[in-house]
Structure 1
Amino acid sequence: MVALFEPTWAIKAIYNLTPAQLKREGIRAVLTDLDNTLIAWNNPDGTPQLRQWLSEMKNAGITVMVVSNNNADRIARALAKLELPFVSRALKPLPTGINRAVRQLSLTKAEVVMVGDQLMTDIAGGNTAGVRTILVQPLIETDAWNTRINRFFERRIMKRMNKHHLIDYAEELNGKH
């Protein structure tokens, strides 16, 4: 059961990903969760660091696409200034939204990675869809009300994984997979 939640990689923040690291792994698109992965759930405008990272990805020809369980209106409002493509109502941990994103991008599953801050939705969803996954630490320590329920259960899973040294947040992709 733990394998469902085990990420391919664990890094401190999505902004630590570089085009060179991604290209080395054959990754042409980053599918990312929205809240507490790409932007803080309570700061839809993002940060200068986010805009710089998105610019680097765009300049390197790497697509960044949001795959979120949020509804389309919420995602569109959050991404209005960032102009990113997205899949709403992704139904993570089911593979539905991730598979939809892969098809929309006309890529293979080997060419995308799912990045998120939650084991129970983002990592389980990516693993179920058959794509590589990256677990990141949440951008901020608070969550929206609907995420707090998942965090309760996630703490138990994380405790078991830490006991077996399955998650160690690195500064960058370390080649494990």
Structure 2
Amino acid sequence: MAFSLIPDRVYSSIFEIDGTELSRHGVSLLLADLDNTLAKYGQPDPEPAVQQWKCGLAEAGVELFLLSNSRKPTRAGHYARCLEVPYLGHAGKPRTEGFFRAMEQMGRTPAQTAMVGDQIFTDILGAKRAGVLALMVEPMELRGNPGRYLRYVVEEPFRALGRRR
């Protein structure tokens, strides 16, 4: 398993990720983190723009799958049901088991899969270890948890290297 903390690509938000471009590169499954990637912490339902983005992915032949580490028992399930996508909560990222369970459930290989998330030490490291394309987005918000500021400061050199790719 690979060990890298450098994302393959870095985007401002999920809305810059184009399903047609993913499809051109053989990606037909996009695993997505929930908190600070698709939704702000505590936001219970998907915004209409996220719904539209998911539909754009589907039109390009890319299925969305929610892969969340959320410790709240119903958070990932509720959000995924509202978005009408499959999900795996308590995924245990950066361990690879959740990635492989999601790919198996969807009948995909690592070469057909990408992961999008906002954190280097869970989303990107896990994606790299699982052999899937690692896409990083800037966090939606940092306020509310001082630990987040510190974590994102430590991650910034890796984000910067990813932006150069």
Match of 2:142 in 1: 141
Distance change (3 Å), C-alpha of 1:161 and 1:80: closer
SS of 1:81's equivalent in the other structure is helix
Contact 1:115–1:135, Cα closer than 8 Å, also in 2: yes
In the alignment, residue 69 of structure 1 is paired with which amino acid? N
Q: How many angstroms does 1:150 deviate by? A: 6.0
Distance change (3 Å), C-alpha of 1:98 and 1:25: same
Please point out which of 122, 142, 167 is paired with 2:162: 167
Inter-partner Cα distance in structure 1 for 2:24 and 2:141: 29
Distance change (3 Å), C-alpha of 1:167 and 1:8: closer
SS of 1:115's equivalent in the other structure is strand
Write the deviation string for residues 70-125 of structure 1: whole angstroms up to 9, x where unpaired. Answer: 25522112233211100111111111111111111111101000100000100011
Normalised TM-score (structure 2): 0.87
In the alignment, residue 51 of structure 2 is paired with which amino acid? R
Match of 1:93 in 2: 94
Distance change (3 Å), C-alpha of 1:4 and 1:50: same
Comparing 119-128 with 11-20, which one deviates more in the overlay?
11-20
Please list, as runs of the form range in 1=range in 2, the aligned pairs for 1:10-89 lying within 5 A after superposition.
10-71=10-71, 72-89=73-90
Comparing 69-78 with 114-123, which one deviates more in the overlay?
69-78
Q: How many angstroms does 1:32 deviate by? A: 0.4
SS of 1:5's equivalent in the other structure is coil
In the alignment, residue 168 of structure 1 is paired with which amino acid? R
Inter-partner Cα distance in structure 2 for 1:70 and 1:154: 18
Inter-partner Cα distance in structure 1 for 2:155 and 2:34: 22
Aligned residues: 162
Q: Give the fraction of aligned pairs with identical amino acids, expressed as a percent.
A: 30
Contact 1:120–1:150, Cα closer than 8 Å, also in 2: no
Inter-partner Cα distance in structure 2 for 1:140 and 1:150: 9
Inter-partner Cα distance in structure 2 for 1:161 and 1:79: 29
Q: Which runs of 5+ in 2 are unaligned?
A: none
Inter-partner Cα distance in structure 1 for 2:33 and 2:151: 19
In the alignment, residue 163 of structure 2 is paired with which amino acid? D
Q: Which runs of 5+ in 1 are unaligned?
A: 170-175
- Please provide the CA RMSD for this pair: 2.1
Contact 2:66–2:80, Cα closer than 8 Å, also in 1: no
Distance change (3 Å), C-alpha of 1:19 and 1:112: same
Distance change (3 Å), C-alpha of 1:36 and 1:112: same
